[in-house]
Amino acid sequence: MKTRLYTGAALLALTASLAHAQDLVVPVGEGDYNWDSFNSFADAHDLSGETLEITGPWTGLDAENVEKVLAYFEEATGATVNYSGSDSFEQDIVISTRAGSAPNVAVFPQPGLAEDLASQGLLTPLPEGTADWMRENYAAGQSWVDLGTYEGEDGNEDYYGFFYKVDVKSLVWYSESAFDEMGYDVPETMEELKELTEQIVDDGGTPWCIGLGSGAATGWPATDWVEDMMLRTQSPEVYDQWVANEIPFDDPAVVEAIEEFGWFAKNDEYVQGGASAVATTDFRDSPAGLFAIPPECYMHRQASFIPTFFPEDNDAAFFYFPAYEEKDLGNPVLGAGTLWAITDPSDAATALIDFLKEPIAHEIWMGQSGFLTPHTGVDTALYADDTSRALGDVLLNATTFRFDASDLMPGEIGAGAFWTGMVDYVTGAEASDVAADIQARWDSIQ
């Protein structure tokens, strides 16, 4: 790093920065982290005496981990960073931006809210060239650009949201010992997954454990199934049209995706407890059958968070929820994530977006827990464990990434009619009727 002369307020900022540097989880220069990226960034930025305010949805351990990353931004620039997390972030950020008291940067858990604020002129486009950088340095880069591009108050599109920290949903969990005992191979295509499903039945087992129960949110796990099936039966463009209701919910493409889910969930032989148990089994309880002796089921499709609900001393593994070989749609991945947007522009805010491009900004959190990145320039050996590393590989191998559709739809649909419609479907309704009812609800709110 370059040598700097500090006086007055800058000296006080440096003193605070040096005190904070003692808390760096990895001393600069140690380990296999990309310190070149850190040093080149530090040489290009001197923000001594400046303060950067950031707010987001993270509290608890996630807040601690993001603060560990931001400590390196402070170390590199001399700036002071204040992060505040809130369980009511979505409400708080709307109030503060409209009142003119927004932080410099906000971390959005859903693109829809960021898009809404951008349309009101309450977000600042990211620095020129950021979208090009994303295309070149993130796996499925154009997908991330699309998710962060919105119309501004003037009606012109610009790039507003930098994705950082991603979750993967396109996963199937299983017990390694159960698979090994039966000699089952991990399927690499949807055709092979369906063949394995039928093979398990022929062997006297039950292939799937599926539960849609979630209190007032019952039904949401089925929406993830349908979204994954949309990405495996239709192009990403059709998926986007569905999310925006540019094609109706009862379009044949959507009905087909619902029925693809039904192929697994509405067959008594395929599901633990039979099809009638799908709607009433709590999603947190449903994977337990994977680890029973003998197994009560062999596979469970769910996002990367589900091991939280596995029993202790399990031997869980996962594989990518595969695509159809015959449809040639690549390796689409369904997921979620957070995007960083500038809500009150400053030099420090712009510099932070540049910092998030550096491998070190990802590698520090990779070495902690609960973090995945599609950044192709990171050293994946730095992930904290083998599971995280394998999940990261799913992201890096993605040809398309799409955000959870129900989270992007109007609340009455994505967190209402879609949920309840899926419960109706698994309990006997026809897919076409369910889809028509959801579209009728959508029409009523437009």
Check pLDDT > 70 for residue 1: no
Buried b (16+ CB within 10 A) or exposed e, 56-80: bbbeeebbebbbbbbbbbbbbbbbb
Check pLDDT > 70 for residue 7: no
* pLDDT tens readout for residues 111-138: 999 999 999 999 999 999 999 999 999 9
Q: Looking at residue 44, what is its pLDDT? A: 97
Q: What is the pTM of this model?
A: 0.89
All structural domains of the chain, each given as residue ranges with its CATH number in brackets, are: 8-168+334-403 (3.40.190.10), 171-333+407-445 (3.40.190.10)
Q: Looking at residue 446, what is its pLDDT? A: 80
* pLDDT tens readout for residues 256-307: 999 999 999 999 999 999 999 999 999 999 999 999 999 999 999 999 999 9
Where are the strands (E) in 3-103, listed by range? Answer: 51-56, 80-85
The helix/strand/coil state of 44 is helix
Burial class of residue 215, CB neighbours in 10 A (0-12, 13-18, 19+) = exposed
Backbone angles phi, psi at 68, to 5 degrees: -65, -35
Check pLDDT > 80 for residue 336: yes
**DSSP per residue over 190-242, as a string?**
HHHHHHHHHHHHHTT---B----B-GGGTTHHHHHHHHHHHHHHS-HHHHHHH
Percent of the chain with pLDDT over 90: 93
* pLDDT tens readout for residues 19-46: 444 479 999 999 999 999 999 999 999 9
Helices (H), 83-182: 89-98, 111-119, 130-137, 141-147, 176-182
- Contact present, 346 and 79 (Cβ < 8 Å): no
Q: Which residues have C-beta within 8 Å of that of residue 324, sequence separation ≥ 6?
A: 189, 190, 191, 232, 233
